Amino acid sequence: MAVSVMKPGQVVETAYASRWIAITYMVLQLALNSRPPSLKASGRPRKVWRSSLHSLRQPDHGSTIQAESDSTSLNLTHLELLHHYSTSTCNTFSDEPSARLMFRVQVPQMGIEQPFLMHLLLALASRHIQFLTSEENKSTHYADAAEQHFAIALPQVTQALTRLDHQNCRVFHISSLLICWYMLSRGPSPGEYLVFSDHGPPMWLPLLRGVRTLGETEGFEGVFNNTALSKSADKFPNADAPTAVRLNLPRISWQKRFQELGGLISATAPTDSVEIYLVAHDRLARNYEATYGDDENRSYNGNAIHQMIFQWLYLMDDEFVDRMQQKKPHALLIVANFALLINLYDLYNCWFLRGWATHILWGIYHSLEDDYRVWMQWPMEAAGIEWNPFVYEKR
């Protein structure tokens, strides 16, 4: 296979490098296009984009003060955000010990060498503080600070892509994950339902697929130190209890409902789509078993990869994705059951998923024809939404 030399002693396969660059640019472009209007570029690049870690404003929640130019001064706002990230935010991305260690220790260390990664960490920390605060002026301050850090990071990531090699590809994969989580932390938007949209192709699906492609190109085990999201489950340890049991969260009886939905698919879906839907349905059932356990004894003794709820999105086949984007009813009903997994982590106070589950369920309900809406009763009630279709028509 042809290779291109990046630096003396460092070689990157041409096909791999091209794929990394194309996918990472896609992630960045989607992120840039999704920024709030006040932060979108117009004309020349904003000066704040070219700033270093010392160039952000240092608000006191009522006014803004420019950071001192003296090289011996400390930016206390940045120190506050980094402290919050290291003591709190980093522990919200996973409950798996090795992943927590990576985000608490290794990722900030990489951020010292790659400032755009540090800006992404500070942006997420600021969003996390915003989520935790109940004071409106502080909420506005931290939201603004988050958007400033995010706006600085994106063009720096783009520029850094020119230095892509096997040594730093891990940084780009982690950056793509952080960008995804940051965009989730902004909360749901009208007409955008994570994997389908009322306004054309969904924004989130390309982002998720971009992260998957980045990881598959280099190998997820190299990114997560054997904490992976790949299709192969061989590198994962076995879990000895369902997620809901381990985290002491509410459990639901799901197997009968899944059997009923599987029967509906087999009986009413178009012939050329039945197998496509059943594959997605069966994969989701594995995630349900790993999350809630089986209905009889609430136990699970299987591979821990199935406890990673977003794994289902990474593994969706293109044929299912096409039908989901076309809002085919059977595809949407399967997605409604996936929303319940998001709801569980919402209950666990996974802050950047707050509000997404019910938002997706409402979007699906209003996208379905009347004949299929009755199948929404179980997922909506399980998510804590009172079942009253007569009221829903007025929503």
Count how many domains the chain has: 2
374 is a domain residue: yes
Asked whether residue 97 carries a pLDDT value surpassing 70, the answer given is yes
Residue 226: predicted pLDDT? 36
DSSP state of 233: -
Residues 237-250: what's their mean pLDDT?
84
Residue 340: predicted pLDDT? 92
Asked whether residue 228 carries a pLDDT value surpassing 60, the answer given is no
Same domain, 69 and 167: yes
Asked whether residue 132 carries a pLDDT value surpassing 90, the answer given is yes
229 is a domain residue: no
Q: How far apart are CA 116 and CA 159, in angstroms?
A: 10
Residue 201: predicted pLDDT? 75
DSSP three-state, residue 152: helix
Q: Where are the alpha helices (H) located in 219-273, listed in sequence order?
A: 220-224, 243-246, 255-268
233 is a domain residue: no
Same domain, 204 and 332: no
Who has greater pLDDT, 312 or 277? 277
Q: How far apart are CA 24 and CA 83, in angstroms?
A: 29
Same domain, 284 and 215: no
Who has greater pLDDT, 217 or 196? 196
* CA 59 to the chain's CA centroid: 29
Same domain, 62 and 167: yes
Residues 6+ apart with CB under 8 A from 37: none
End-of-domain residue from the set 202, 224, 246: 224
Asked whether residue 165 carries a pLDDT value surpassing 70, the answer given is no
Same domain, 153 and 211: yes
Of the ranges 34-48, 102-116, 156-170, 187-201, the best mean pLDDT one: 102-116
Same domain, 194 and 251: no
End-of-domain residue from the set 224, 255, 274: 224
The pair of structure tokens assigned to 28 is 């960045």
232 is a domain residue: no
Residues 131-138: what's their mean pLDDT?
92
Residue 316: predicted pLDDT? 87
The pair of structure tokens assigned to 279 is 């594959």
The pair of structure tokens assigned to 293 is 């356990």
Give the DSSP per-residue string, 154-199.
HHHHHHHGGG--TTTHHHHHHHHHHHHHHHHHT--BTTB-SS-BSS
Same domain, 80 and 134: yes
Residue 217: predicted pLDDT? 59
The pair of structure tokens assigned to 70 is 């003296």
Residue 324: predicted pLDDT? 93
Mean pLDDT lowest for which of 66-80, 84-98, 193-207, 280-294?
66-80
Residue 395: predicted pLDDT? 53
End-of-domain residue from the set 190, 224, 258: 224
Asked whether residue 389 carries a pLDDT value surpassing 80, the answer given is no
Taking only the tens place, the pLDDT of each residue in 10-55 is: 334 444 444 545 555 555 555 555 555 444 433 333 333 334 444 4
Residue 73: predicted pLDDT? 67
Same domain, 65 and 165: yes
Residue 131: predicted pLDDT? 94
Same domain, 76 and 125: yes
Spatial CA neighbour of 107 closest among 117, 96, 95, 92: 117
Same domain, 102 and 186: yes
Residue 218: predicted pLDDT? 56
Domain that holds residue 193: 3-224
Residue 288: predicted pLDDT? 94
Same domain, 47 and 158: yes
Share of the chain above pLDDT 70, in %: 70
Residues 253-268: what's their mean pLDDT?
96
202 is a domain residue: yes
Who has greater pLDDT, 66 or 390? 390
Residues 321-332: what's their mean pLDDT?
95
Residue 315: predicted pLDDT? 82
Mean pLDDT lowest for which of 33-37, 115-119, 377-381?
33-37
* CA 321 to the chain's CA centroid: 17
Residue-averaged pLDDT of the chain:
78
For 170, 240, 270, the CA distances from 3, given in Å and listed in that order, are 20, 45, 46
Mean pLDDT lowest for which of 114-123, 140-149, 205-214, 233-242?
205-214
Residues 278-303: what's their mean pLDDT?
90
Asked whether residue 140 carries a pLDDT value surpassing 90, the answer given is yes
**Is there a contact between 220 and 169 (Cβ–Cβ < 8 Å)?**
no
Residues 199-214: what's their mean pLDDT?
68
Read off the pLDDT band of 326 (50, 70, 90): very high
Asked whether residue 200 carries a pLDDT value surpassing 60, the answer given is yes
42 is a domain residue: yes
Read off the pLDDT band of 202 (50, 70, 90): confident
Residues 338-344: what's their mean pLDDT?
91
Who has greater pLDDT, 205 or 243? 243
Residues 111-126: what's their mean pLDDT?
95
